[in-house]
């Protein structure tokens, strides 16, 4: 069974995977005058965003290995690019923990998710349903991160 030409299992897993984006962003807005609660939700959100960037890079790494088959050599350029999301996520967590946890971190994280979404949506060699799924998931992630940026910026 498919919904919007996306297989149901990946769609359901993606919906479940959006909850850790939406819930902390919503908590940041609902925490009102509780700065510690806001910071806790913010840290949970930025770490989860980094984990997902790493996961997406792993998907690309695996797709490249699979595309080359058992005897082929993976293309170096795509292998290098697949690691950039992990490194960006790690840098964002460092920025949040060692620097200033505020709206610029979340704006940058939203941008990183949008860039990865665009890459995946246009990704040759990826199934059409995956590209469509990534448009949905990447938009949800970026909107949640942008909402977190706004929660900090408007305080």
SS (H, E, C) the chain: CEECCEEHHHHHHHHHHHHHHHHHHHHHHHCCCCHHHHHHHHHHHHHHHHHHHHHHHHHHHHHHHHHHCCCCCCCHHHHHHHHHHHHHHHHHHHHHHHCCCCHHHHHHHHHHHHHHHHHHHCCCCCCHHHHHHHHHHHHHHHHHHHHHHHHHHCC
Question: Model confidence at 2, in pLDDT bands (50, 70, 90)?
Answer: low
What rounded mean pLDDT belongs to the chain?
A: 91
Question: Model confidence at 73, in pLDDT bands (50, 70, 90)?
Answer: confident
Question: Model confidence at 126, in pLDDT bands (50, 70, 90)?
Answer: confident
pLDDT recorded at residue 70: 66
Q: What is the pLDDT of residues 31-47, one digit of tens each?
A: 878 999 999 999 999 99
Residue 72 confidence (pLDDT) above 80: no
CB 90 within 8 A of CB 50: yes
pTM of the predicted protein model: 0.92
Angle at 31 between CA 27 and CA 32, to 5 degrees: 140
């Amino acid at each position: 069974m498919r919904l919007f030409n996306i297989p149901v299992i990946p769609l359901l897993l993606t919906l479940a995977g959006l909850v850790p984006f939406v819930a902390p962003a919503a908590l940041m807005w609902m925490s009102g005058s509780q700065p510690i609660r806001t910071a806790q939700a913010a840290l949970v959100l930025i770490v989860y965003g980094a984990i997902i960037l790493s996961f997406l890079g792993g998907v690309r790494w695996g797709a490249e290995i699979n595309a080359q088959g058992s005897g082929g050599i993976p293309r170096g350029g795509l292998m290098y690019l697949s690691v950039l999301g992990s490194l960006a996520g790690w840098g964002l967590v460092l920025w949040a923990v060692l620097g200033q946890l505020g709206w610029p971190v979340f704006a940058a994280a939203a941008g990183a998710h949008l860039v990865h979404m665009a890459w995946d949506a246009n990704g040759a060699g990826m199934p059409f349903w995956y590209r469509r799924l990534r448009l949905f998931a990447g938009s949800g992630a970026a909107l949640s991160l942008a909402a977190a940026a706004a929660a900090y910026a408007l305080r």
